[in-house]
Amino acid sequence: MTGLPDSYMQYPWRRRGLDHDRFAHRNLPTLRPVTWPGGARVALWVAVHAGHFPMDMPLTPILAPGGMERPYPSYWDYTQRDYGNRVGIYRLMRVLAARNLPATALMSAALAPRYPALVRDIKAAGWEVAAAGVDMGKIHHGGVDVATERALVQQAVTTLREAFGPSVRGWHSPAFSESAQTLDLIAEAGIDYVADWVNDEMPYAVTTSAGPLTAMPLPYDLSDQRLLFQQHMATEDFCAAILAAHSTIDAEARATGGGRILTLAITPWLMGQPHRIRALAEMLDTLLARGGIWPATGAQILDAWTTQAA
């Protein structure tokens, strides 16, 4: 006796192979070669986690990475994360602008009305904005009913499109967390790509009830949240890991004749600290000096990919 209802064991997609109908199986080594503009071997996608961490973040069903570590009200936790939106992100803007590197802000919608100056400055920097939910406390998960989740998706997308226009085409769920219907709901909201799944290094098509989506590679294992915040690596070791990843990806691109993607996932309240920003700048200079790199936003990579995948 497990105490579970019989319906718990009823799963229509239990079978050999993939246990869902969201995407077709693909092995990266057998991927048809794609080319990036200018014959670049590696597309460099700088994805900046611009999140709002409300002071009353719930602890269930999960605590988002970087979530509050102390009981409410934790001004220490709140202000540390808020540092990224007040100070750190501007250091990232200066470093990227000095190297003519575009970026995609994976942005909590709650930031738009709270920080109109940040909206203005992100526009001025020419960054792309992708919707990253309402805030880091509004987690998408199986315990959220469809109507409630649909309202969250619509609120996030509408708020950011009102601030930035129709160029908001991407989605990243807070804490990488989804329910069974999240993909359907973001496609319903007119989103073109989603950066939640970490099972590939190249885009692939995703099926939803509201039309097609493309999954974009946003690695967690290579992010500053994973390496700096969770594993307490030295900043120099994080930068070395990025360069090592590029060496491998670039070698694979050379061997296959097909382009690859290196996603640099960084967080303003971590990488925008004064003791880290210089290391980031030096790492980017080393990376760009290697050549064969196409700096692009998520939407630009999506469009280049879609044209060839069709």
pLDDT band at 62 (very low <50, low <70, confident <90, very high): confident
Bridge partner residues of 263 (DSSP): 45
As a three-state string, the secondary structure of 253-270 is: HHHHCCCEEEEEEECHHH
The amino acid sitting at 206 is V
pLDDT (tens digit, 9 = 90+) per residue, 208-265?
Answer: 999 999 999 999 999 999 999 999 999 999 999 999 999 999 999 999 999 999 999 9
Can you tell me the distance from the alpha carbon of 276 to that of 156, in angstroms, rounded to the nearest whole number? Answer: 31
DSSP string covering 198-248: -S-SS-EEE--TTS-EEE----STTSHIIIIIIS---HHHHHHHHHHHHHH
Given a cut of 70, whether residue 1 has pLDDT beyond it is no
DSSP element (H, E) containing 271: helix 268-271
Can you tell me the distance from the alpha carbon of 78 to that of 110, in angstroms, rounded to the nearest whole number? Answer: 14
The dihedral sign for the CA sequence 284, 120, 300, 18: positive
What's the pLDDT at 2? 64
**Stronger pLDDT, 49 or 15, i.e. the higher one:** 49
Delineate the domains of the chain, giving CATH numbers in brackets: 34-309 (3.20.20.370)
Mean pLDDT score across all residues of the chain: 94
DSSP element (H, E) containing 309: helix 298-309
Q: What are phi and psi of 45, to 5 degrees?
A: -110, 110
